[in-house]
Structure 1
Amino acid sequence: MSAAATNAPQQRANPEKEKTPPKRINVAVGPETIRALEAVIEREGVSLTEAVRRLIGYGEVVYQAVKQDGAEVLLKTGDSTKQVIIL
């Protein structure tokens, strides 16, 4: 076994991803969304496609927590805590 194979992180298979092939979508987004995508691209050094995937993933986590679980979203920085209201 090669060193690369030995040191590769274990990845869990996601059965849902294996069943459903990726879909190509075409959407129009506003300037705020473009700025958010550009920030992720610049800060994390990823492609536009990966930035979209990450922001959708983050949004899904927040959406499920708030809309399905009834959770509150709090942003804590040092001694300051702010509540985020999701409509």
Structure 2
Amino acid sequence: MTTKTKTPTQGKGARPSGGRRAASDAPQTRLNVNINSQTAAALKDYADQQGVSITEAVRRLVGVGDFIAKAQDEGKQVLLRQDGETERVVFSY
């Protein structure tokens, strides 16, 4: 069995530098959203664990969500593997 690992920045149109333009080159869009306290806490926890700003945490998590949504749209499955066990994860929006 062959396992192929692909990160969200790999694939069609990916940039060799990890998929990001320099901050000064990237067009900016200001985003103002309302989120509940549970979502705010999860976002802060992620940012703290990764040592990044809330803005960077939002960028990363939106990128992951986009990657998963596109994969599912293509008929792909999201699988979690641990200790020889495989679990299929279904994201419904």
Tell me the TM-score normalised to structure 2 length: 0.66
CA RMSD of aligned residues (A): 2.8
Displacement of 1:39 = 2.2
Max radius of gyration: which structure?
1
Q: Which runs of 5+ in 1 are unaligned?
A: 1-9
Q: 1:66 aligns with which of 69, 72, 91?
A: 72
Per the alignment, do residues 20 and 44 of structure 1 end up closer, same or farther by CA in structure 2, a change over 3 Å counting?
closer
CA distance in 2: counterparts of 1:85 and 1:12, whole angstroms: 27
Which runs of 5 or more residues in structure 2 are unaligned? 1-15
After TM superposition, where is structure 1 displaced by more than 6 Å over at least 4 residues in a row? 12-15
Partner of 1:23: 29
How many residues are paired up? Answer: 76
Q: Which stretch of structure 1 is more off in the superposition, 31-40 or 51-60? A: 31-40
**Is 1:77 paired with 2:90?**
no
Aligned AA (1:43):
Q
Higher relative contact order (CA 8 A, sep 6+): 2
Q: Secondary structure of 1:76's match?
A: strand
More helix by share: 1
- Using structure 1 for the length normalisation, give the TM-score: 0.70
Q: Would the alpha carbon gap of residues 32 and 72 (structure 1) be closer, same or farther in structure 2, given more than 3 Å must change? A: farther
